[in-house]
Structure 1
Amino acid sequence: MAAEKIKAETRTEFGKGAARRIRRADKVPGVVYGHGNDPMHITLPGHDTWMALKHGGANALLELEIDGSKQLALTKQVQVDPIRRTLEHIDFVAVTKGEKVTVEVPVHLNGEAARGTLVVTGTSTITLEAEATHIPEYVEVSIEALEAGTQILASDLELPSGSELLLDPETLIVNITEQQSAEALEADLESAEAEAGIEREESDDAEGSGSSEGDDSSSE
């Protein structure tokens, strides 16, 4: 993963008021932790930072140029406004080239399993140790034409060179099962309801199905 270059500035104003002023100027407040140094509070350009995060994914690596000096920084936490979808704040961890870091990497499924099967994802992310400058954006798993009964475990994953799995090798990643019919699903639901002591109410149609047109004749 190549580091995106972003120019940043140190900031000395803090608090909600200062943060709002920063965001109104299309900038983003952030902080860089790590390597035994005091936290470095910075301001980043809003649009450029947003694009860098979209390109780099959950573990985006940025090369921050802060007041003339350069610092590699790994994205650790991103706060986004849930309504406006704008960046609110970013936490970074300072890293160096060659340094190994622990990250959560998403699993992407590729292809389609055999017909009549159901693909169940056991876990959507895995924990890896990788060099800070070579963190994979995702790990790809092929499920093409896999038959029911197939299971893919963490130990089956093909990891990028330099990455090490920090997860129980027996962890289930993908399980391919037979696809149930609507009738089988309904039967399972009825069985579960019966075990739980739940009685289904009869519909109005079912209640009225036993009545006949001649029932009203006695009223004449």
Structure 2
Amino acid sequence: MSSDLKLEAESRQDHGSRSSRRLRRDDKIPAVVYGQGSEPLSVTLDRPKFRATLNAAGPNAVITLDVDGSDYLTIVKNMQRDPIANRVTHVDFMLIDIDQRLIVDVPIALVGDAVLVRQEGAVVQQQMMTLTVEAPAGNIPQVFEVDISEMSIDNSIRVSDLEMGTGVVPQVEDESLIAIGQRSRAAVAAEETGGEDSDGLGEDAAMGGDAVDAGEASDEDAGEDS
């Protein structure tokens, strides 16, 4: 069985850093296909086509790699990048079966406007950027979108709140936090200052009450003296 996503590649015989640098200058990416007991196959990718494929389908997509007319069902296992230019410099493709269960990291994206959190003088803090799941190769989520529009400080978002697809099993506890609402230091400081002012006024009022009582007592004493 093949996937609907297809990417052309060319087999290559030249190896080594010099050959790889030459490929990158020509806007191509060296890659390798391996797995299922087969010998690793070195291939070359067209950079613009590879970028377009990933942008369209996501990093965990099942890709049918067409190498010189032969199809290989794969998933991107690893991508190396240039630390300065952030360009992909090498790709590892792993051979798979469409029904094979895989463990992958799926990105988590927060969507919506957390109005209630802002009204409480807080901000949303994302605690988990990716979620590790086990899923059938043909049903791997590309991203978990988390709606935070109904979120509040007292209502954090946890793994158990996510909608998992068929056969998708998270590899962490259901109660693991994804996003929380947390007050800023300024908001906490303002709240504490307000509380102290209220207490101070209460003490002054109490002292004022004692003074009145003392005055009344003095008047009574004066009346007795007269």
Larger displacement relative to structure 2 (170-179 or 33-42): 170-179
Mapped contact 2:98–2:136 kept (Cα < 8 A) = yes
Higher helix fraction: Structure 1 or Structure 2?
Answer: 2
**Corresponding residue for 2:201?**
none
Mapped contact 1:27–1:43 kept (Cα < 8 A) = yes
Amino acid at match of 1:149: D
**Corresponding residue for 1:130?**
135
**Corresponding residue for 2:100?**
99
SS of residue matched to 1:102: strand
Mapped contact 2:151–2:157 kept (Cα < 8 A) = no
SS of residue matched to 1:160: coil
- CA distance in 1: counterparts of 2:95 and 2:127, whole angstroms: 32
Shift of 1:76: 1.6
- Which residues in structure 2 correspond to 1:1-220 (within 5 Å)? 3-113=4-114, 114=116, 115-116=119-120, 117-181=122-186, 184=189
Mapped contact 1:106–1:137 kept (Cα < 8 A) = yes
In structure 2, the gaps of 5 or more residues are 193-226
Mapped contact 1:10–1:41 kept (Cα < 8 A) = yes
**Corresponding residue for 1:218?**
none
Larger displacement relative to structure 2 (148-157 or 82-91): 82-91
**Corresponding residue for 2:223?**
none
SS of residue matched to 1:144: coil
- CA distance in 2: counterparts of 1:24 and 1:36, whole angstroms: 33
Amino acid at match of 2:127: G
- CA distance in 2: counterparts of 1:140 and 1:63, whole angstroms: 26
Shift of 1:182: 5.5
Query: Max radius of gyration: which structure?
Result: 2
- CA distance in 1: counterparts of 2:188 and 2:124, whole angstroms: 19
Q: TM-score, normalised by structure 1?
A: 0.76
| Change over 3 Å in CA distance of 1:174–1:94 after alignment to 2 | same
Count of paired positions: 185
SS of residue matched to 1:38: strand
SS of residue matched to 1:59: coil
Mapped contact 1:6–1:49 kept (Cα < 8 A) = yes
Shift of 1:163: 1.4
Question: What percentage of residue pairs aligned between the two structures are identical?
Answer: 35
SS of residue matched to 1:49: helix
Q: TM-score, normalised by structure 2?
A: 0.74
In structure 1, the gaps of 5 or more residues are 188-220
